[in-house]
Amino acid sequence: MKSGSQDCLTPQHLQLFGTIVQWFARYELLMQEFMAKLAGSETSSVMLLTRRLDFGGNWQALLICFVIAPILWTSMTRSVPIFWSH
């Protein structure tokens, strides 16, 4: 039997893996920015609130924001007096 190299990972493998991790981080930041925009808050506040969530947790939080934000917006606009809407 041939004895091959024990190190099967090349620098290109590691670079590609780093690129994948970086894209996931960018996607996670984009989700947090969407949540902040929907909540009408700063991105840093959302980052603090979601810091312990993993990628799936951030995704679920974003989906909840998409469901809750229109409901809150509708209920807020119904309770605002007419003279405030100008």
Please tell me the pTM assigned to this model: 0.67
Q: At what angle do helices 11-39 and 55-79 cross, to 10 degrees?
A: 20
Every domain of the chain and the residues it spans = 12-84
Residues 6+ apart with CB under 8 A from 73: none
Whole-number Cα distances in Å, 76 to 34, 37, 39, 53, 69: 20, 16, 13, 29, 10
pLDDT at residue 86, rounded to an integer: 47
pLDDT along the chain (86 residues), means of 10: 68 94 94 89 93 92 83 60 50
Give 37-41 contacts, CB < 8 A, sequence gap 24+.
Answer: 38/65, 38/66, 38/69, 39/65, 39/69
pLDDT at residue 51, rounded to an integer: 93
